[in-house]
């Protein structure tokens, strides 16, 4: 284990140097939303990758460029890890709420404050610095490492899918590693294996071409509010089960490994309830996590019809509308579910229109918990940090990760490095420098663990 200690000490010894890189990168604005400084930032980042021991190049897309880099282990059979991150940032406004200017990074209380610190510059740099530590101590990392750092994640990654599709050979890898988002609020490390998808739907019903008197026309004029209510009531039952024919066809069954992982997650009904403004969560831990991570959800986010102002207005409304977002789980897809939903609604009431909001929604993706890379990664994180990571089978929210399995055919794993209170997208965004430093240590150990698993033939 001499090597491990040597590597750790080497990274410890370069703390100040690494923080200087970090500050420089944050000081370069890169606001993709209004094309401010993004190209300059790409150039700066590519330069840093070269200095840290990788080859690098700036690759154009239809939008902002991708900074691509790679470093070879020198072994043709080595494991290849593709590290994805994004160097663009959210607009910093409102400026008056920042305690120091967003692009003049400042260290206070052991944290670096500035736009883009946690989301995502500090996290992507950690991978590059881990590579540098390996290069300096051993001549090369024990695995091949590729970097894809995109410049328009904060604008919805509109060109990432095309970029990956056009560069399949260049990007070929065994695993994609994504460090974005935050660790567990307790400070414990996390492994994130996936996310739900989302499909936005509007159901709209129309009756007469105007609102009608509910006395004079009640019973003869059609009421679109009732049309929608009947459709909705036959679409989801009171337990939340979705009644659309074939809706669950592709939902994976829950495995033993999944249940074991869930059993190790924290669960406090009162504390979890408080995060939603409820006195408590009225379900078991297993049910709670299954519902958030592994099951789809059909949500009504808004209902609109008729008159709800002061006093009363006795009308039959002419129109009713409901906004729906369907949270999907892995192997469900937009192309499969939308036609099924349209058929379902048409069978109940053909007068109700099904309108899709957004093109294609966002697809779910999830790496199976028993994928052979997960155990060595979890072990490496525990070695680096002294704390075992929680494994998040899937986050409830939606992310554009399906591009990795969907377009590149490679599974993905997330290991967030930022502190839970990083304030990303908000004023006073920051990254705890201990988190940054531990991120570098963690990446360095993860590279080693993947190399060892490859040598042992398990990966």
Binding residues vs Zn ion (CB under 5 A): 119
Q: Which is nearer to Zn ion, 33 or 59 (CB)?
A: 33
CB of 32 to Zn ion, least distance (A): 10
CB 271 within 8 A of CB 186: no
CB of 364 to Zn ion, least distance (A): 20
DSSP assignment letter at 143: S
What is the helix (H) or strand (E) element at residue 149, kind and residue range? strand 144-150
Q: Which is nearer to Zn ion, 180 or 363 (CB)?
A: 180
Q: Which is nearer to Zn ion, 258 or 422 (CB)?
A: 422
411/330 Cα distance (integer angstroms): 12
Q: Which is nearer to Zn ion, 54 or 148 (CB)?
A: 148
CB of 402 to Zn ion, least distance (A): 18
Quickly list DSSP for 187-215.
Answer: S--EEE-EEEEEEEEEEEEE-SSS-EETT
Q: Which is nearer to Zn ion, 119 or 448 (CB)?
A: 119
Burial (CB count within 10 angstroms: exposed 0-12, middle 13-18, buried 19+), residue 286: middle
Q: State the Rg of the chain over Cα.
A: 25
What is the helix (H) or strand (E) element at residue 354, kind and residue range? strand 352-362
Strands (E), 207-292: 212-213
233/217 Cα distance (integer angstroms): 25
CB of 91 to Zn ion, least distance (A): 11
Query: Degrees (nearest 5) of the Cα angle 342, 339, 318?
Result: 20
CB of 165 to Zn ion, least distance (A): 24
> Residue number with the shortest CB distance to Zn ion?
119
Q: Which is nearer to Zn ion, 81 or 399 (CB)?
A: 399
Q: Which is nearer to Zn ion, 13 or 397 (CB)?
A: 397
222/322 Cα distance (integer angstroms): 17
CB of 153 to Zn ion, least distance (A): 7
Q: Which is nearer to Zn ion, 341 or 418 (CB)?
A: 418
CB of 46 to Zn ion, least distance (A): 21
Count other Cβ atoms within 10 Å, centred on residue 107.
Answer: 14
Tokens of 285: 């831990």
CB of 416 to Zn ion, least distance (A): 12
- Per DSSP, the three-state class of 397 is strand
CB 79 within 8 A of CB 459: yes
Q: Shortest CA distance to 151 belongs to which of 70, 44, 228?
A: 44
């Amino acid at each position: 284990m001499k090597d491990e200690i040597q590597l750790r000490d080497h990274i410890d010894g370069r703390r100040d140097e690494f923080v200087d890189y970090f500050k420089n990168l944050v000081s370069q604005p890169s606001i993709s939303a209004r094309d401010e400084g993004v190209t300059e930032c790409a150039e700066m980042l590519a330069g840093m990758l070269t200095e840290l021991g990788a080859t690098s190049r700036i690759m154009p897309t239809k939008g902002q460029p991708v900074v691509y880099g790679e470093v070879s282990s020198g072994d043709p059979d080595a494991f290849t890890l593709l590290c994805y991150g994004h160097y663009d940032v959210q607009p910093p406004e409102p400026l008056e709420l920042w305690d120091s200017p967003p692009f003049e990074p400042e260290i206070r209380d052991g944290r670096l404050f500035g736009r883009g610190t946690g989301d995502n510059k500090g996290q992507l740099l950690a991978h590059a610095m881990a590579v540098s530590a390996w290069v300096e101590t051993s001549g090369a990392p024990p695995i091949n490492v590729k970097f894809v750092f995109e410049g328009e994640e904060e604008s919805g990654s509109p060109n990432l899918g095309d970029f990956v599709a056009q560069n399949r050979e260049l990007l070929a890898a065994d695993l994609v590693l994504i460090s974005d988002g935050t660790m567990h609020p307790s400070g414990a490390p996390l492994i994130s294996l996936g996310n739900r998808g989302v499909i936005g739907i509007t159901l709209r019903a129309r009756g007469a071409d105007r609102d009608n008197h509910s006395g004079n026309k009640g019973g003869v004029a059609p009421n679109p509010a009732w049309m929608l209510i009947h459709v909705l009531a036959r679409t989801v039952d009171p337990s939340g089960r979705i009644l659309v024919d074939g809706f669950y066809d592709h939902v994976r069954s829950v495995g033993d490994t999944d249940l074991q992982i869930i059993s190790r997650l924290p669960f406090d009904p009162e504390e979890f309830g408080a995060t939603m403004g409820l006195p408590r969560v009225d379900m078991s831990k297993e049910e709670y996590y299954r519902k958030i991570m592994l099951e789809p959800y059909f949500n009504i986010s808004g209902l609109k019809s008729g008159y709800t102002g002061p006093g009363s207005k006795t009308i039959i409304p002419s129109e009713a509308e409901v906004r729906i977002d369907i949270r999907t789980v892995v192997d469900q897809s937009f192309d499969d579910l939308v036609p099924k939903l349209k058929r379902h609604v048409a069978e109940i009431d053909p007068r109700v229109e099904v309108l899709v909001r957004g093109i294609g929604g966002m697809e779910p993706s999830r790496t199976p918990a028993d994928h052979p890379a997960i155990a060595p990664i979890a072990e490496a994180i525990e070695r680096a940090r002294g704390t075992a990571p929680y494994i998040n089978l899937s986050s409830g929210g939606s992310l554009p990760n399906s591009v990795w399995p969907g377009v590149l055919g490679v599974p993905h794993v997330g290991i967030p490095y930022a502190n839970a209170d990083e304030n990303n997208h908000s004023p006073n965004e920051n990254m705890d420098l201990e988190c940054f430093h531990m991120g570098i240590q963690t990446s360095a150990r993860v590279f080693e663990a993947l190399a060892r698993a490859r040598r042992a033939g398990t990966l």
